[in-house]
Chain A
Amino acid sequence: MATGTSTFEQQKAEVTRVPLVTNNRSISWITQNISSIVEEKTPIWWWVAMMFTVPVALFGLFCVAYQISTGVGVWGENHPVGWAWDITNFVFWIGIGHAGTLISAILFLTRQKWRTSINRASEAMTLFAVCCAGIFPAIHVGRVWMAWFLAPIPNANAIWPNFRSPLLWDVFAVSTYFTVSVLFWYVGLVPDLATLRDRAKSKVTKFIYGIFALGWRGANRHWRHYEMAYLILAGISTPLVLSVHSVVSFDFATSVLPGWHATIFPPYFVAGAIFGGFAMVLTILLPARLLYPQLKDVITPQHIDKMCKIILLTGSIVGYAYAMEFFMAWYSANPYEIWVFLRNRVADPVVFGPLFNVPPAPYWWAYWAMIGCNVFAPQVFWSKKNRHNLILVFIIVNLVNAGMWFERFVIIVTSLHRDFLPSSWGMFHPTWAEIGLFVGTFGIFLTLFLLFMRFLPMVAMSEVKIVLPEADPHHHPEGPSHDKTTQVQH
């Protein structure tokens, strides 16, 4: 056993939790520095950013208008590939929308206090991602103006939607998820909106924030109701986190198509969604930390480290699922299943094609892009050093974003393009209209996020304050406290 004070200090440091907010920031510092993001003069970079994102978003909307007015044919879809970028993008964005609710609800219920500094931004991201996702199933149909047939509206013809169709389940699942996510996000916002209202200098601002703050005064009763509502919503959201992507996966799993027809899809999709969602949270927050240095004390390397660990875990689950799909195809001895996995996906010109003695799959590059980005890239997060190298983290999470898009593309297009009858095999080639729409959704997403940054507090101030040592008057600091003598030096 080691001796001496230094050993004791070391041991003490090891068992002591690193504070969630660094630099020993006080409650008022939090209020001041987070609110100032909203209150200060609009920075130049924000205008510059908007100059990029708004035209891109508008171009996306133009692509929507073009598609609706002209026909689905403006995209590259065909017989046999009836779905391609539209549903790929839908599942991609819906997947991204998973991290927010997971952070807000599941981590709330499991008392993961580190969530407080990132939950607001990731919930906002969820909502914006679901908005983007919602565009695709709505407009991918041939007759958008008849899309109301999807709603179970009693009508003169007594025709109901087909409750056996997973696409209908999707409608319910996604709309429920969006509604609950909005409520959850808004309820969490109320105390902070009141803060902004109280700090507002102009009457108009005060009035608007006042409306949305719902008369919040921070009274004890308010807090009691607020916390109860938050808990209930967290309880409602938790199963939704699991259900939405399970239902989305049913679109594929309940079909007869080899490559879609797989029982592993629900857990695999949920894990993939969390994986992609966290990657997107980091993609957004890492630049935000740079732009607003005060956020560095709130969103600390420790947060990033934890998110990287989740990415590593879920990425490995996804990798396991890929392997398991391949195994099941082989184990089923079903030649159609084996064909889809081996000949439509895995067989590349260099390694696996020659290994299995088959020609390269037409979309081998998409499959290996997916494997590379989703399975191999996150493995660098085993090392703590890498998890703290923010540039590396940023690169990896963007690879994950791309990989998760490829995952959906691989599932949808490579299964469809060569299925049962070789006579109907074909290829899919995207057109400018669908590429434009996909890029446009990034414009929409980023525009909404930029607006969010300007007008709402990016960090849940009230919640972060709760995790400050200051918020716990009975706390006897073992580790660092607001006492300057024990402040951790950086």
Chain B
Amino acid sequence: MKHIFHHPPEKATGRKYWRSIGQLAETKEFQGWLEREFPEGASELKADGVSRRSFLKLMGASAALAGMGLAACRHPLNLVPFTESSEWSIPGKALFFATSMPWRSGAEPLVITTHDGRPTKVEGNPRHPVSSGGTGTFAQSSLLDLYDPERSRFFYQDGEEATAEDFEHSLDYMIGRLGDGSGLAFLAEENASPTRERLRKEVLKRFPKSRWAVYEPLGNELADAAHAAAYGAAVTSVFNIEAADVVLSLDNDFLGSDEVAPVVARGFANRRRVEKPGDKMNRLYVVENRYTITGGMADHRLRLPASQVGHFVLALAKELGVDAGGITAEGNVELPEGWVREAAADLRSTNGRCLVLVGNRYPVAVQQLVAAINEKLGAQGKTLFSLPQTVEPALSLSDLATAIKEKSVRTLVILGGNPVYNAPSDYNWRELQESIPLVIRLGLHEDETSRVANWHIPAAHYLETWSDGIAYDGSYTAVQPIILPLYNGWSENDLLAKFAGQPKPKGSELVQETFRARLGGADFAKSWNQFLHDGFLPATVKPGALSYRGSLPSAKLAAPAGPGAIEIVFPADAKMDDGRFNNNGWLQEAPDPITKTTWDNVAWISPKTAKELGLKHPIHASEHDLVEIAFDDNRKVEAAIFIVPGHADNSIALSLGWGREVVGKVGEGTGVNAYRLRTSDSLYYGVGAKITNLRRKFPIAHTQEHFSMEGRGLVREATLDEFAENPTFVKDNVSPPAPPNGVSLYPHPKLTSPNQWGMAIDLNTCFGCNACVIACQAENNVPIVGKEQVINGRSMHWLRNDRYFVSDGGEEEDLGEYASDPQMVVQPMMCQHCENAPCETVCPVNATVHSDDGLNVMAYNRCIGTRYCANNCPFKVRRFNFFDYNQRPIGKVKVPILGEVSGLALGPLTKKGMADTLKMQKNPNVTVRMRGVMEKCTFCVQRIQEARIAQKVKAGSSSDTTIPRDSFTSACAQACPTDALVFGDIADPESRVSKLKAQQKAYTLLEYLNINPRVTYLARLRNPNPKMPDAKRTASQAEPAHS
């Protein structure tokens, strides 16, 4: 009888299981490869034939050999299928492994999809409470960093290529001469990995006089200091935003760039899910200088220069009766009459079920005062909790800089980070680093810091390393390699182990040791396997109470920005973070959530300030005015301005993370480096910059030119009270109205499938964070097109987040007039899968047709590219491959005579092909499209088919081919940290999507066209405080369905 391989018990749809590499490691085969075949196979791989199979076995076991593995991938013609199946691998079926992404605010728990040993997609870990299946933008796009062909792959000694052996020899020699370590210093990034912490202590034991410093340009240094002063250094605080009825965010973008833990976004969103009239909702006040996605969700938003936020906090403290101690402020700030009073009253009325959050780079005194306010409000124990601190205090960058200046650092080991690029400009870090005799730098990329290091060590990506982490809720998470290092990279644990006098670890031994210590007496093997399987140990320490010490320092807040004293704010970039993602094409091309700019950062400025400076926003072009922003002769940059409605006057925001000097081709020449303006005493903002209009232009690529919805009923909104009064407001005044009988002229295929797919998007919980955009890009092999093509309007995203500003009106964008203080709404827009799809009738070759389960499907093979479908698509969601984006160079290439020319426009004259590593990222279940064909959202048809096939296999001869309810979802819906996007079967009235569609505030777009979209939107609701001075405005702006 034929042996049928059975997968271990799993759900029928086949996407809910995952296996650990550790389980695999226990198998005989794997041990065998490690012990025997690996060294042998390494030489055999250079030949072809039979030994290729052993390579593939390794690949299949998610253990691709680094250099050789790649060599093999370059010759796909020689690939042969498995002849012997390795135990967990079924060809064509994905395997799932749990891991987590290290991040400064806590590890993000993840599940990685792998195909034939290649990680192809990052998902949130649905079992972990911090993720619940959702992810942030950075986790989604970190996958591309793994495969970045320009990632560091070689060791360098003083700029010369060296080998790993050279380095190990030299390292052993050097470590032997360190003595008590008095000249040794480490500079690391914020990371709560217990294994790293353990190694750090072991290194310290061996070299008691060594130094350990931590630097993150966007880190929590100031927040930690404030926290330590308020609550003591032994604990760290977490907040439970879901428990808060009223939240006041003082320039804390907790839904966006300031906090990546999806649990925060989800907790906030859970309090904004309004199912029926009468349901309650939380209320969000935001004070900020620039629009953030958090500000976009605000019920009341006050635009205030960052340098005035401290003054606002003082006013709030006074209003709440909090003694500000010795904190005083220079200058006077006029706040809108009643704003502070009513907001304070609202906060007080919640009896502690409220939260005041402040940006983590505000002066320590301001942050301490906010802690005092939270204490006064009684948030402590209701929304604010303590967790034990897991990381010992470290030196700061300034301490280290002092030590270097004193010549007491002889050997500096830089573990990740990029201080030459991102240290405060007053440190002159480059010179400091050059003055150290020996600098060893472990880095993912060869960057600015590598250039002034004696040794550059290629770092392993977190998807290639063994490590661990602490998640936001204090739980212990696994970081396990999903693939062996592609470029022979070392992890920081590898390097630290060497310093601790241990051999470079072969596998998980270091993490196992840490794990063993945490485990106590339990059965190790079983627990370890369970740990790797789940990806985490549940948090054992429950959040406890904070004990407030209540000592406020005496400090004087500096004079704020005002007319004539313009401040520059340095926010974290929504895409580049601190610059680490600068060579990531997905993030480069992801539109900024607010400005929708790509491939550059821009100086955000308010319409009024721009007018005063004589700056204009281009109306029908991409050419933006250039300004010089200068604090003094050394601290100056040239940046393109971007007028953003709702921006505070006399304030300019220039995000960090751009303008890298030593970076790969993707990041080259993108943006301007705001770190040049940033000093150690202006980590978040600096006042008094001189702005000079350079009277030159600079092209900026943005994906959305128009700010206004022009009164069309696209995003329909109301206040909570209006919804209670008129639950069907979304259907009111729909203009033009839907046709009465809904008859279509054309016959349509019968929708006979037992499952009918549809989607519901809750605009009340969607912030526009871009996680879905990147998830879609990763899942569906959507190419990037480069800055020039984005300017040409050819961005390929299947899913985009439309952002509109809503105001009382009167402004005409086409005349260059912008609302000074509008509200913001976001609308995810993808193929609406219209049942009467206008695109289908016009395609001359039947390349886009309707399926029996209600999908508007594209047959790429059949498409000849007339673009008629895109023209007739009312939502303009169809994307045309104007060039061979997958095969030709994106960006400029140098050619004789012509100079620098667009690589795409040179077409056949350029080298064809995609980097080998990038090929490895592609989802094998989705066609990579060629030029000349149209593409668009498919509702992740590959996932639908996988589920359908699984169900058909399960059904056998029975007729039960209905896919189980909500057993899988589309990539965007899966990534969404707030479940704002819900995909499912609309034929099943009990499915999540059907229940959402049945809500009274559900509507579809452009009813009058009689297109019957399968995507339903749930109206946006706001919850204004009727006593607030701007409440009336908030209510009157919430205009329903008027088109």
Contacts and interface: CB of A to CB of B under 8 A. Distances in A.
A80 B875 CA distance: 9
Contacts of A358: 812
B802 A423 contact: yes
Interface in B962-976: none
Interface stretch (B127-135, B461-469, B838-846): B838-846
Interface residues of B, number: 72
A76 to B, nearest CB: 7
A421 B876 contact: yes
A256 B712 contact: no
B905 to A, nearest CB: 6
15 contacts: A70-B905, A71-B907, A73-B904, A83-B867, A142-B863, A150-B844, A159-B846, A161-B845, A164-B746, A166-B842, A362-B620, A421-B712, A421-B876, A423-B704, A423-B800
A473 interface: no
B864 interface: yes
B838 to A, nearest CB: 5
Contacts of B32: none
Interface string A402-422: 000000000000001001111
Contacts of A140: 866-867
B782 interface: no
Contact of B864 (A77, A149, A359): A149
A294 interface: no
A141 B838 CA distance: 19
B714 interface: yes
A71 B863 contact: no
B829 interface: yes
A333 B736 contact: yes
B870 A79 contact: yes
A171 interface: yes
A33 interface: no
Interface string B792-814: 11110000101110000000111
Interface of B: 619-621, 704-706, 708-712, 714, 735-736, 746, 789, 792-795, 800, 802-804, 812-815, 827, 829, 838, 841-846, 862-868, 870-872, 874-876, 878-884, 904-908, 930-934, 1006, 1008-1009, 1011, 1043
Given A142-B863, A159-B862, A82 B844 contact: no
Contacts of A143: 863-865, 930-933
Nearest to B931: A71
Contacts of B1006: 420
Given A81-B793, A160-B846, A165-B842, A142 B880 contact: yes
Contacts of A164: 746, 841-842
Interface in A19-37: none
Interface string A136-153: 000011111011011000
A360 interface: yes
Which 9 pairs across A and B sit closest by C-beta, in order of nearness?
Answer: A142-B865, A142-B932, A70-B907, A78-B793, A73-B882, A423-B802, A359-B814, A82-B867, A424-B876
A426 B709 CA distance: 14
Query: What is the interface of chain A mostly: helix, strand, loop, or mixed?
Result: loop
Contacts of B933: 142-143
A336 B841 CA distance: 22
Interface in A231-275: 251, 254-257
A420 B932 CA distance: 25
Contact of B842 (A81, A149, A255): A255
Contacts of A71: 881-884, 904, 907, 931-932
Interface in A320-350: 332-336, 339
A450 interface: no
Contacts of B870: 79-80, 82
A165 B803 contact: no
Contacts of A439: none
A256 B1009 contact: yes
A168 B844 contact: yes
A382 interface: no
A162 interface: yes
Contacts of B827: 423
A156 to B, nearest CB: 13
Nearest to B879: A79
Contact of B876 (A166, A255, A419): A419
B874 A427 contact: no
A254 B871 contact: no
A200 interface: no
Interface size class of A (residues with CB under 8 A): 35 or more
A9 B841 CA distance: 67
A254 B864 contact: no
A76 B1006 CA distance: 29
A458 B789 CA distance: 49
Given A142-B931, A160-B846, A255-B838, A77 B815 contact: no
A239 to B, nearest CB: 23
A77 B813 CA distance: 24
A256 B846 contact: no
A167 interface: yes
A421 B802 contact: yes
A416 B871 contact: yes
A74 interface: yes
B875 A421 contact: yes
Contacts of A425: 705-706
A56 B944 CA distance: 53
Contacts of B866: 140-142, 167
Interface in A385-409: none
A472 to B, nearest CB: 52
A72 interface: yes
A176 interface: no
B872 A73 contact: no
A69 interface: yes
Contacts of A162: 841, 843-846
Contacts of A160: 846
A114 B712 CA distance: 56
Nearest to B622: A427
A143 B827 CA distance: 33
Contacts of B714: 421
- Give the interface centre of B875, B907, B933 by most chain A CB atoms within 10 Å: B907
Contacts of B814: 359-360, 362
Given A167-B868, A416-B871, A73 B883 contact: yes
Contact of A70 (B795, B842, B906): B906
A335 B735 contact: yes
Contacts of B864: 141-144, 146-147, 149-150
A362 B619 CA distance: 9
Contacts of A254: 841-842
A76 B868 contact: no
A88 B41 CA distance: 62
Given A69-B908, A71-B882, A423-B704, A165 B844 contact: yes
B863 A161 contact: no
B871 A255 contact: yes
Given A254-B842, A419-B876, A72 B882 contact: yes
Nearest to B714: A421
A307 B643 CA distance: 55
B874 A419 contact: yes
Contacts of B1009: 256
A160 B871 CA distance: 22
A254 B872 CA distance: 10
A82 B934 CA distance: 11
Given A165-B842, A256-B1009, A421-B874, 15 more contacts: A72-B865, A73-B883, A73-B904, A74-B905, A83-B867, A142-B864, A144-B864, A146-B864, A149-B864, A162-B843, A167-B843, A359-B814, A423-B802, A423-B804, A426-B705
A335 B1043 contact: yes
A423 B803 contact: yes
B164 to A, nearest CB: 43
A143 B735 CA distance: 40
A78 B794 contact: yes
A423 B829 contact: yes
B878 A79 contact: yes
A422 B706 contact: yes
